[in-house]
Amino acid sequence: MTTTPLLRLDGISKSFGKVTVARDLTLSVQPGEALGIVGPNGAGKSTLFAMIAGDLRPDSGAVWLEGRQVTGVPPHARTRAGIGRTFQVPRPFEHLTVFENVLVCAHQGAALKGRRAQAHAMNVLERTGLAEVANTPAGRLALLPRKRLEVARALGTGPRLLLLDEVAGGLTEPEVLELVAVVKDLHAEGLGIVWIEHVVHALIRTVGRMICLAGGDVVADGEPLRVLADRRVRELYLGAGPETGLPGEEEGS
Ligand SMILES: Nc1ncnc2c1ncn2[C@@H]1O[C@H](COP(=O)(O)OP(=O)(O)OP(=O)(O)O)[C@@H](O)[C@H]1O
Ligand SMILES: [Mg+2]
């Protein structure tokens, strides 16, 4: 018996002028799966999220969520349908408190009201380690809690598919590990996760499968260490600094 994928991209193509960021790309994510996406800067990773979340429409191809075509469905309706996303550059309501930021998502995304919305928002703050700063305005947060809040806002919408776009970017090593612990817990709860990340070791710790996007194509897809050991993937990352955490040949092979 085959299960309906949580997410399916069916022959997606997208170009900006002469730059092709997706070329007849087909990809499925199963319910509860954690998929990592790596690829060089400008490969089209965030654009892929924009097409999944509904901010951009593919030139051709279709997006399916749990067996339902959502290609032309606007972002707010996709949020209600179960897609929660973070943005590469955090986008909280700066003047609202951390709690209020998540409460807005509980109202608008998860369609919760009153006490149920408040309880959901508090629960999300606890799961993301933000309960202690619940009453702090988002604009006053340091980077780690700001990244946590980005995840919390996505969770506030009650997603079954969580899209994380470089939530570990710019964090110190101990902070990355704190964030990894949060994402691992979410995955353990059964949430489907797609995580774009340049901090590769964070992905290795978290995801069961990885793809590498480059030039509009999936150049490798499979078990994370195998993908990172792939010759084409290594060539794409040659010259990248050690902060990418790309494992050495001996680890990957
Ligand atoms: N709305 C847009 N209009 C025109 N070009 C765009 C638009 N969005 C993205 N691009 C271009 O598409 C390419 C892919 O961008 P995208 O942000 O998806 O890359 P990325 O893989 O997320 O890169 P990074 O790792 O740096 O975040 C880039 O060349 C970018 O300049
Ligand atoms: Mg990006």
E strands in 186-252: 192-196, 209-214, 217-222
Could you tell me the pLDDT band of residue 252, with boundaries at 50, 70 and 90? very low
Give residue-wise pLDDT tens across range 148-205.
Answer: 999 999 999 999 999 999 999 999 999 999 999 999 999 999 999 999 999 999 999 9
3-state SS class at 37: strand
The answer to the question of residue 139 being in a domain is: yes
Q: Residue-wise over 224-238: b if at least 16 C-beta within 10 A, else e?
A: beebbbbeebbebbe
Q: Confirm if 183 and 193 have CB atoms less than 8 A apart.
A: yes
Radius of gyration of the chain (CA): 18
Range of the domain at 176: 7-244
Look at residue 253 in the predicted model and tell me its pLDDT.
36
Residues 6+ apart with CB under 8 A from 93: 100, 101, 104, 138
The answer to the question of residue 210 being in a domain is: yes
The answer to the question of residue 240 being in a domain is: yes
Q: Name every protein residue with a CB atom under 6 angstroms from any ligand 1 atom.
A: 16, 19, 21, 39, 41-47, 88
Q: How far is CA 198 from the centre of its chain?
A: 12
The answer to the question of residue 251 being in a domain is: no
The DSSP element (H or E) to which 48 belongs, if any, is helix 45-53
- When divided into structural domains, the chain yields a total of 1
- Residues, the chain, total? 253
Give residue-wise pLDDT tens across range 4-26.
Answer: 999 999 999 999 999 999 999 99
The count of C-alpha atoms lying within 13 angstroms of the C-alpha of 47, restricted to the half-sphere facing its C-beta, is 23
Burial class (CB in 10 A: 0-12, 13-18, 19+), 34: buried
Q: Which residue's alpha carbon is nearest to atom 30 within ligand 1?
A: 42
The answer to the question of residue 183 being in a domain is: yes
pLDDT at 237 over 90: no
pLDDT at 220 over 60: yes
Distance 97 CA to ligand 1 centre (A): 31
Q: Which residue's alpha carbon is nearest to atom 1 within ligand 1?
A: 16
The answer to the question of residue 176 being in a domain is: yes
pLDDT at 34 over 80: yes
Give the separation between CA 92 and CA 147, rounded to whole angstroms. Answer: 10
CATH code assigned at 74: 3.40.50.300
The answer to the question of residue 169 being in a domain is: yes
Helices (H) and strands (E) in the chain, counts: 10, 10
Distance 41 CA to ligand 1 centre (A): 8
Give residue-wise pLDDT tens across range 125-154.
Answer: 999 999 999 999 999 999 999 999 999 999
Q: Which residues surround ligand 2, an ion (CB under 5 A)?
A: 45-46, 88
Closest among 59, 10, 48, 12 to 163, alpha carbons compared: 48
The answer to the question of residue 253 being in a domain is: no
Ordered alpha helix ranges (H), 58-172? 75-81, 98-108, 114-127, 143-156
Mutate which of 14, 20, 45, 47 for ligand 1 pocket (most atoms within 8 A of beta carbon): 47
What six digits make up the tokens of 186? 């979410």
E strands in the chain: 7-16, 19-29, 34-38, 60-65, 68-69, 83-85, 161-165, 192-196, 209-214, 217-222
Q: What is the mean pLDDT of residues 208-225?
A: 96
Q: What is the mean pLDDT of residues 25-37?
A: 97
